[in-house]
Structure 1
Amino acid sequence: MGKSRGVIASDKARGMAAMLAPNPPFRARLNYLLFNSEFHCVVVYRLGRYARLLREHRPAAGLVLTFAHRVINRFVTHLDHVDISPQADIGPGLLLMHRHGVLIGPVIVGRNCVIHQNVTIGQRVAGGDRGLPTIGDNVWIGPAAVITGSVNIGDGVTISAGSVLSKDVPDRCLVAGNPARVIVKDYDNAPMIGVQPD
């Protein structure tokens, strides 16, 4: 559980940095923890992920936690319209900027990913492509973007609003369109995601 707490702490720090003024007072931080639905959606995903991993080592406890996650996740899915698969492997620093309409399948996503509303990330199915996306670190995904199929998205990529992406994207590119294509190479998205590249 220690590792999970560290990941949630990273998610919380990223969310507070994006939503609150620098050095927020205690009351603002408490309000964020209690009432920020985007953060709650991330915590529910982390709970499901932890339950899944716990089942491998302590099946009985993992089963109880998995059941609890499914009940809570059902509520979050209906209330906030967010469904993140507990099979997804998402690095620390996940930031949901707007929670509605976010669907994420069992994909791999790196650290410090920013995801806006109405984003779908998962299996393409059409054309027999049952692969899943792999997304690097420090990626910004704009509203209504769709990422499907066996694609690799590099580190520092920016995916513009409304993009439909089904091809690989190299590091530090800005992509846009339907189908999405590279618009700018060597694009610096650090100001957008609030994290300096390594």
Structure 2
Amino acid sequence: MFRQLTPPAAAPRRGALSADLARMYGSFLQGEQTSLSKKIAFLLTNSEFHCVACYRFGRFANRVKRRSVVSGLLFLAIHRIWNRWVTHIHHCEISPRAQIAPGFLLMHRTGVIIGAAKIGRNAVIHQNVTIGQRVSGGDHGLPTIGDNVWVGPGAIITGAIVIGGDATISAGTVLSRDVPAHSLVAGVPGRVVTQNYDNREMLGHVVA
């Protein structure tokens, strides 16, 4: 289990990628006390960070395109090439149409597929997780996931459902229904097994 570090109450809001990095440093290294050499090594070698950075770059490229078509197309081409590498080498695909708030922590990259869902701050996603459309029954909606949600390995979350903040989705859960905040969900199909579940230790270091 990684260490729990609490950010200062008055800490200013960071940019999305900066907040993602701060969370990774706090979870896996020594937070703000991490040496520059360790930070550089992390940036160069951590595949989970590379996947998150590629997603953030895709969001940036789309913003550039709205301001300048020519510049935007250049950045989108770079993202397309980078994303193809991430998809084939790391087996992780995060749509740039997904709206993922700062503090995104990808614990294990392999098999992660995230469509154009909305995901709140300080999300934790493990390996082999799928978040996207349900498709069956004509449901092309996408999930909306609150802040501080932990999603375990092998979970599948589909459809136009709402998952409340501080919820915990257990490994192997197949979820296609709304989940109230602070719930522990498990099973196939997923159902609430515990209410008022405290997932703070599982989340590890969080950012404001």
TM-score, scaled relative to structure 2: 0.90
The alpha carbon displacement at 1:7 in A equals 0.9
Q: Which residue is 1:19 aligned to?
A: 28
Partner of residue 148 from structure 2, selected from 130, 138, 141? 138
The alpha carbon displacement at 1:21 in A equals 3.6
The alpha carbon displacement at 1:8 in A equals 0.6
The alpha carbon displacement at 1:17 in A equals 1.2
Alignment partners' CA distance in 2, 1:108 and 1:19 = 25
Contact 2:149/2:166 (<8 A) preserved: yes
Contact 1:138/1:195 (<8 A) preserved: no
The alpha carbon displacement at 1:25 in A equals 2.6
- Residue by residue over 1:41-75, the C-alpha shift from the partner in whole angstroms, topping out at 9 and shown as x without a partner, is 00000000111122111111111100100001000
Q: Which amino acid aligns with 1:88?
A: A
Q: Which residue is 1:102 aligned to?
A: 112
Alignment partners' CA distance in 2, 1:157 and 1:195 = 16
Contact 2:86/2:92 (<8 A) preserved: yes
Tell me, which stretches of 5 or more residues in structure 2 are unaligned? 1-13
Alignment partners' CA distance in 1, 2:203 and 2:30 = 16
Kindly tell me: are residues 77 and 131 of structure 1, through their superposed partners in 2, closer, same or farther at Cα, counting changes over 3 Å?
same
Alignment partners' CA distance in 2, 1:115 and 1:49 = 19
SS at match of 2:191: strand
The alpha carbon displacement at 1:196 in A equals 6.3
SS at match of 1:175: strand
Q: Which amino acid aligns with 1:43?
A: A
- Residue by residue over 1:143-162, the C-alpha shift from the partner in whole angstroms, topping out at 9 and shown as x without a partner, is 00000001000000100000
TM-score, scaled relative to structure 1: 0.94
Aligned 1:160-175 pairs, distance under 5 A: 160-175=170-185
Identity %: 54
Contact 1:138/1:197 (<8 A) preserved: no
Aligned 1:148-167 pairs, distance under 5 A: 148-167=158-177
Contact 1:156/1:189 (<8 A) preserved: yes
Q: Which residue is 2:9 aligned to?
A: none
Partner of residue 122 from structure 1, selected from 132, 136, 142? 132
Q: Which residue is 1:9 aligned to?
A: 18
Alignment partners' CA distance in 2, 1:169 and 1:20 = 33
Matched residues, number: 194
Q: Moved runs in structure 1, 4+ residues, more than 6 A?
A: none
Tell me, which stretches of 5 or more residues in structure 1 are unaligned? none
Kindly tell me: are residues 24 and 195 of structure 1, through their superposed partners in 2, closer, same or farther at Cα, counting changes over 3 Å?
closer
